[in-house]
Structure 1
Amino acid sequence: MAEAQLEDFSSLFSLKGKVAVITGGSRGLGLSAASAILQSGASLVFISSRKAAACESAVATLNALPNLSPGAKAISVPADCATQAGVTHLVEQVKKHTDHVDILLANAGATWGEYIDTHSDSAFSKVMDLNVKGVFNLIRDFVPLMSKNASVETPSKVIITASVAGLGIGTLGKQGTYGYSASKAAVIHLGRNLAVELGPRHISVNSICPGFFPSKMSNGLLEMSGGHDAFAKANPMRRLGRPEDIAGAIVYLCSRASNHVNGADFAIDGGAMWARGQLDSKL
């Protein structure tokens, strides 16, 4: 039967020869994603973050991975994507190495935790500038490179790193992340708008919404909110996120397997967001 005939199934999740740009790629979820993309066959992966030393360290780690495709490499491009000048610099540096980009992971992000009474305008603006305006500027300015080789059969892929805080309620109280939660809700909806706008240009736009993954950004909040073990115990899967959880979602969204997925948001939190609602209902 025709339904059982899957076209070239062995390459469904392959990223062979792909060119990727990853902001916030020097650590945390961005570095996990970069590792997954390279190990899935990508030929070039550009790693960007504000700090040059962090980018260089990440690139050295990635290029030392044992199972990369021949000639594959990661390249460091430090840039501050909270500013238009930083985005422009990143695009221009990428153009020195390639005339097209297949995958853009808008992963750079910032947060700020503070009581509502003392939550400053400057802190709120800092988070929104990087998490929303920076993502919009990044995608807009990379559209020409992403359109270059894109087609109906081989669309280019934009993945936005959002958060479950943008799907539900984030952290409140003394570490209230009001700007972060608002920014992630905004960027998820930005992604939906861009999915419809860019789909006809053969560029898909999807968002991932991670829950708690141990990282430099989240570890402090985890400890102040009860600790790693408490959060793991409360999760329906009885653990927090691991690098492989992000890797699997990223490879799927970057590969041919997701060619008809556009405008979606994927919660990667073990079901914790829904469990929280269940616990609250019992109070």
Structure 2
Amino acid sequence: MASSVDINEIFGVKDLVVVVTGGGSGLGLMMAQALEANGAIVYIIGRRKEALDRAASTAKHGNIRTIRGDITSKPDLEAAVAEIEAAHGYVNVVVANAGIGGPSLTDLPPQASLSDFRKHIWSWDAQHFNETFAVNVGGVFNTVAAFLGLLDAGNKRGNLKQRSQVIATSSIGAFNRSPLLGYAYGGSKAAVVHIFKQLSTSLGPYNIRANVIVPGFYPSEMTQGVIEQRNKTGWPKSVIPEERPGDEQDIAGAILFLVSQAGAYINGNVLVTDGGRLGVVPSTY
């Protein structure tokens, strides 16, 4: 019998159990909402109770569930695993989305002298610089490690045709050679891309896939100022060929593709969703 090509079967996410870190705002919230609206059970993990509660209140079916925790804390991650294990016994997808910015170049004057450039980067707080890597790399990696048992249980559960997977949210900052958001942010996001390529190889024998979403300009706390300014002045093709920032439908399409049967044959993939931004700036992609 021929396989079904019905769109609801191919792209359906009904009854998936998904974990999204940093799901209380920004891209994490958009992904959580898209998944839950289409039938998935979504656990969002974050540090801020108010943001988590607001996110849960937007659930279409009442299936955005909150867990307060810090991804840099192994005890917090273990507690989250225990809570989900008690409720379901397995997960199908973990989206390691939580991340922070770092010391940036946004306050550096245009065409700054070498002296000014040196003074600016030397003034950065070392703890802030290192914290960016602790969250964006260490926290993401530990999130994956914490949930491997439940991802394996998801495969054994057999509720889906596609195998379990981990997905990281990186950034085009990983590939952009003009580091407006700073070297710690771009470096940490580049590290995530490479680690997930390695994880796709390391986890393959255990039937767990690893993929990366690489967003460009999307609404978030980190990009709010830039997007508000550009919305006033416009988005020329020289900035983004699509002449706009990404929106909820754009990121929904990416996550629904990857976690559904449509993305079942995807492993070790780096999915850039940036409206063509990397094509018009110096980049290494």
TM over 0.5: yes
Q: Distance in 2 between matches of 1:238 and 1:8?
A: 33
Give the match for residue 7 of structure 1.
Answer: 4
Give the match for residue 162 of structure 1.
Answer: 170
> How many angstroms does 1:84 deviate by?
1.8
1:242 aligns with 2:247: yes
| Contact persistence 2:162–2:260 (CA under 8 A) | no
Q: Distance in 2 between matches of 1:221 and 1:110?
A: 16
Q: Aligned-pair RMSD on alpha carbons?
A: 2.1
1:147 aligns with 2:152: yes
| 1:190 to 1:55, Cα distance in 2 relative to 1, 3 A | same
| 1:167 to 1:194, Cα distance in 2 relative to 1, 3 A | same
Matching residue within 15, 23, 33 for 1:35: 33
3-state SS of 1:96 partner: helix
3-state SS of 1:77 partner: strand
3-state SS of 2:19 partner: strand
Q: Percent identity?
A: 32
| Contact persistence 1:231–1:240 (CA under 8 A) | no
| 1:253 to 1:198, Cα distance in 2 relative to 1, 3 A | same
| 1:148 to 1:7, Cα distance in 2 relative to 1, 3 A | same
Q: Distance in 2 between matches of 1:194 and 1:231?
A: 40
1:215 aligns with 2:220: yes
3-state SS of 2:15 partner: coil
List runs of 5+ in structure 2 lacking aligned partners. Answer: 105-119
> How many angstroms does 1:222 deviate by?
4.8
Matching residue within 26, 45, 50 for 1:48: 45
Matching residue within 227, 230, 233 for 2:230: 227
> How many angstroms does 1:200 deviate by?
2.2
| Contact persistence 1:161–1:208 (CA under 8 A) | yes
Q: Distance in 1 between matches of 2:64 and 2:141?
A: 24
Provide, for residues 138-160 of structure 1, a one-character-per-residue CA deviation record: whole Å limited to 9, x for no partner: 10110100011316943012110
Provide, for residues 101-129 of structure 1, a one-character-per-residue CA deviation record: whole Å limited to 9, x for no partner: 00111000000234322122101111111
Q: Distance in 1 between matches of 2:255 and 2:64?
A: 17
Provide, for residues 70-97 of structure 1, a one-character-per-residue CA deviation record: whole Å limited to 9, x for no partner: xx61211010112222222221222231
| Contact persistence 1:155–1:259 (CA under 8 A) | yes
1:78 aligns with 2:75: no
Matches of residues 59-78 of structure 1 in structure 2 within 5 Å? 59-62=56-59, 65=60, 68=61, 73-78=63-68
Q: Distance in 2 between matches of 1:98 and 1:170?
A: 44
What is the one-letter code of the residue matched to 1:163?
S
| Contact persistence 1:32–1:247 (CA under 8 A) | yes
3-state SS of 2:130 partner: helix
Q: Distance in 1 between matches of 2:234 and 2:136?
A: 25
Q: Distance in 2 between matches of 1:254 and 1:187?
A: 19
Q: Distance in 1 between matches of 2:126 and 2:103?
A: 13
3-state SS of 2:165 partner: strand
What is the one-letter code of the residue matched to 2:235?
A
Give the match for residue 209 of structure 2.
Answer: 204
Q: Distance in 2 between matches of 1:203 and 1:96?
A: 22
Give the match for residue 82 of structure 2.
Answer: 92
Give the match for residue 192 of structure 1.
Answer: 197
TM-score between both structures, scaled by the size of structure 2: 0.86
List runs of 5+ in structure 1 lacking aligned partners. Answer: 279-283
Q: Distance in 2 between matches of 1:248 and 1:191?
A: 21
